[in-house]
Structure 1
Amino acid sequence: MSTASLGDRRRTSARARAASFVALALALALPAAGCAPQAASSGGDGHTVSYWMWDAAQKPAYEACAKAFHKENPGLRVDITQIGWDSYWTKLTSSFIAGTQPDVFTNHVAKYPQYEGLGALSPLDELGPTRGIEDSDFEPGLGKPWIGRDGHRYGAPKDWDTVGVFYNKKITRAAGVSDAELRDLAWNPRDGGSFEKTLARLTVDANGKRGDEPGFDKDNVARYGLATNDAGGDNSGQTQWSSFAASAGWHYMDKNPWGEHYNYDQKTLHKTLGWYFGLAEKGYMAPLEDYSDTNHPETQLASGKAALAMHGSWMLSTFAGLKGVDLGIAPTPKGPTGKRASMLGGLADSIPKGAKNKRGAAKWVAFLASDECQKLVGEDATVFPATPAGTKRATAAHRKKGLDVTPFTRHIEEGTTFSFPISDHAADINAMLVPAMQEIYAGDSPAESLTETNKQINFLFQQDK
């Protein structure tokens, strides 16, 4: 293939992606008309920096950062707009089309490839205030995902999260399962290891029989060992099966970030998912139909419907606030590799290419990434900030509340994290994986059915070439 023909094909692919993006954006903008972007500040006067975020729980911490920022930059004011997750991306996309985009917005690794691929973001390493931001400023693994295909940085990490196992000590101790045992669990796809044995012990049927006792009725369970958190198709199994698959040695793509070949057809994943979703068939994990918008894992733990719940560190405050629950936290189980694993999630702050106050935006992003702001966020203890200093401050704040958060931080310290799969076509991939994973969970399809799904996913990338 000649260089010219390759360039032509890349330009054609870029135009196709751009057309797709505009069509999607316009479709999203129509139902949002009259109800969203105009209510959010987009800055533009040279003295105001508009900042959009979706997490209401984090807003007080960033208001404290803004107050400190104002003292250091008396000519600038940050205007924070919080928009709920369900509307956030619709309104953000609409604002890009309408030219009312914020100066800075909280970005997510699942969404960012589309904006990066269309050239809609400002390279932070080309703006004075953010030029000095380096990967080494943050916890290991947080900076790399935000380096685009062209080598430029398009996001400054703001926080991180890993996965752990939340449990009710009242239930585990009554079953004779100690905290020490929960901290040292292991699993394998053959017999489930000590993790599955523990789930069986914690599971109780309507007649009071435990999952490891003769006469246990798997079809009439009163309390499951493990809560359901859906099938995990729309977020790559982050809080469901990803820790197990990674600890078995599986990887999402040929490379990450910017891979172009997914590995959902590999036997290692099939064996992992066959075992994991098989826990529901055995009665040890709540079935798919138990999950709903009003019955999340924390709800199941609070009601006594489940003894354990795997979830992300961003849920710490929620689980800690459950009434009647003596909360314990354990790390993810060790896998066949002999190591634990957890997806390393993380958000970042990005600047749109069309930001009205780009220099003010860069100053704000640089401040958000500074230890001064990161420590303020850490003291709030809603999330783990991206810098080591911020993480240390958050860990201390949780300790004061009586929470041992080492099950989350040990993944950082021991280097057992892996990145969210960052690639093009995220929306299309999710659209394929959600029903596929749900069918496996429900027992309607074997895990091997993902081989065909994987072909469809990889075909998306073949069309780009």
Structure 2
Amino acid sequence: MNFWKKGIATALLVGSFGLLSACGNGDKDKKDGAASDETTLTVTTWNYDTTPEFEKLFRAFEKENPGIKVKAVDIASDDYDTKLTTMLSSGDTTDILTMKNLLSYSNYALRDQLVDLTDHIGGLEIDPAKDSYSMYDVDGKTYAQPYRTDFWVLYYNKKMFDEAGLDYPSNLTWDEYEALAKKLSKPDEQVYGAYQHTWRSTVQAISAAQNGKNLVDPDYGFLKEDYERVLRMQDEKAQMDFGTAKSTSVTYQSQFENSKAAMMYMGSWYMGALLTNIDAGTTDVEWGIAEIPQKEKGKEIQTFGSPTAFAINKNSKQQEAAQKFLDFCSGEKGAKVLAEVGVVPSYRTDAINKMYFGRKGMPTDEVSQKAFKPEKIAIEFPLDPNGPAIDKVLQEEHDLILVGDETPDKAISAMEKRVKQETE
């Protein structure tokens, strides 16, 4: 299976094995007479209480490494990248930085705020995760180690389909998805056939993936058809309108787990959080997954996604202990921890995949298994020096389309003009 979209350069991971030979500052952990003292590693996280893999990885690492404790520096998800950028600009010494997405990662790497891990990684066994590692290549250097790899699937509420007398979704086209959403909606009860979250990626990233396009290149005419579908579904009340979702800060978890939406396409990371909430008794939703809708039937399944990684802050005073943490989380031991809680690890083998679907509550039907193995996963947003500026433009125009302030044609023209200006 071609797990990531062809054309993305594979990272050149070479060099001899050694602990942070290129770190410069060296390790500042407790030594000599202070060797018995406990070391505390700090790690940036987001929504710690509702993101189960953080605590599981932290506690498993502590058990494996007596004398080292791991403490979360938790940040609200929506503010994560802004806050982390501010922290690093002010010389913050938090040891380990979670790279929430590739866009922010490239920004920090190009600013020389992360430890260069290239030589160290060259001595590791990374074949089971090589596709994810390839995403972190910045001019031949790698500054992070991926531990989780996500891609987007379609979640659906079995009970809502049963009550409507409809078959569970499988290999839908976008037209079929829209038609199903209309049948399942009860707008008078604020219940919808579909929920689409407010992120621009819910339109732009999947459209780029299924049209073989690149969001960095200012040629966005391919987006028109997808935006027109979203606007139509809003007008038909087949899904909650964007303005309501945005102004009331609706969460995708509340919509799906409270049976307010029969279908929702979202990243595979949500499976772990959903299973955790079911175990905790905060939701009783009966759910399954299917392939994300496609442009045509009978073609290879195309979706989009992105890995998540840990990096070492160049200002960390405990880089040796931090490197141990990265190796644990990104390797086989960390993968087993993640698989047990329903989170897709970057490090994947047949044994790890078996563990993943062995998790209680995980759907194991044929359609779910197929959804878990898409033929092509395109990168959500390519690494680019102008990435943050391009992302800002695309999000702003996305919002203007979906609140009705601009037509798709006008907004797409503005996207192309503004992105060209940012990249010239």
TM-score band w.r.t. shorter chain: 0.7 to 0.9
Q: Does 1:229 align with 2:197?
A: yes
Cα–Cα, structure 1 residues 224 and 178, in superposed 2: closer, same or farther, change >3 Å? same
> Greater CA radius of gyration, 1 or 2?
1
Q: Does 1:147 align with 2:137?
A: yes
In 2, the alpha carbon distance for the partners of 1:439 and 1:409 equals 37
CA RMSD after TM alignment:
3.0
Residue 172 of structure 2 aligns with which residue?
185
> 39, 46, 68: which is aligned to 1:77?
68
Equivalent residue letter for 1:242 = A
Q: Does 1:58 align with 2:53?
A: yes
In 1, the alpha carbon distance for the partners of 2:271 and 2:196 equals 18
Q: CA deviation at 1:70?
A: 0.9
Query: Relative contact order (alpha carbons < 8 A, sep ≥ 6): 1 or 2 greater?
Result: 2
SS of the equivalent of 1:291 reads helix
1:41-120 alignment, distance < 5 Å: 45=30, 48=39, 50-55=41-46, 56=48, 57-70=52-65, 77-86=68-77, 88-89=80-81, 92-108=84-100, 109-120=102-113
1:421-460 alignment, distance < 5 Å: 421=381, 422-448=383-409, 449-460=411-422
Equivalent residue letter for 2:289 = I
Cα–Cα, structure 1 residues 304 and 352, in superposed 2: closer, same or farther, change >3 Å? closer
* Contact 1:43–1:49 (8 Å) recurs in 2: no
Cα–Cα, structure 1 residues 102 and 79, in superposed 2: closer, same or farther, change >3 Å? same
Q: CA deviation at 1:146?
A: 0.7
> 172, 197, 203: which is aligned to 2:179?
197
1:138-177 alignment, distance < 5 Å: 138=129, 141-149=131-139, 151-177=140-166
Q: CA deviation at 1:407?
A: 6.3
Equivalent residue letter for 1:327 = W
Q: Does 1:333 align with 2:325?
A: no
Q: CA deviation at 1:134?
A: 6.0
Cα–Cα, structure 1 residues 376 and 204, in superposed 2: closer, same or farther, change >3 Å? closer
| Ranges in structure 1 where 5+ consecutive residues have no aligned partner | 1-41, 207-220, 254-260
In 1, the alpha carbon distance for the partners of 2:124 and 2:367 equals 29
Q: CA deviation at 1:242?
A: 2.9
In 1, the alpha carbon distance for the partners of 2:377 and 2:365 equals 16
Equivalent residue letter for 2:122 = R
Q: CA deviation at 1:387?
A: 0.8
Residue 311 of structure 2 aligns with which residue?
350
Cα–Cα, structure 1 residues 409 and 240, in superposed 2: closer, same or farther, change >3 Å? farther
Equivalent residue letter for 1:280 = Q
Residue 6 of structure 2 aligns with which residue?
none
| Ranges in structure 2 where 5+ consecutive residues have no aligned partner | 1-26
State TM-score, norm by structure 2.
0.78
* Contact 2:75–2:83 (8 Å) recurs in 1: no
State TM-score, norm by structure 1.
0.72
In 1, the alpha carbon distance for the partners of 2:319 and 2:73 equals 20
In 2, the alpha carbon distance for the partners of 1:318 and 1:137 equals 24
1:19-418 alignment, distance < 5 Å: 45=30, 48=39, 50-55=41-46, 56=48, 57-70=52-65, 77-86=68-77, 88-89=80-81, 92-108=84-100, 109-127=102-120, 130-133=121-124, 136-138=127-129, 141-149=131-139, 151-179=140-168, 182-187=169-174, 192=175, 194-204=176-186, 206=188, 222-230=190-198, 232-233=199-200, 237=201, 239-240=202-203, 242-247=205-210, 249-253=211-215, 261-263=216-218, 265-292=219-246, 294-320=249-275, 321=278, 323-336=283-296, 338-381=299-342, 383-389=343-349, 391-392=352-353, 394-398=355-359, 400-404=360-364, 410=370, 413-418=373-378
Q: CA deviation at 1:413?
A: 3.2
Cα–Cα, structure 1 residues 442 and 406, in superposed 2: closer, same or farther, change >3 Å? farther
Residue 16 of structure 1 aligns with which residue?
none
Equivalent residue letter for 2:340 = E
Percentage of matched positions with identical amino acids? 18
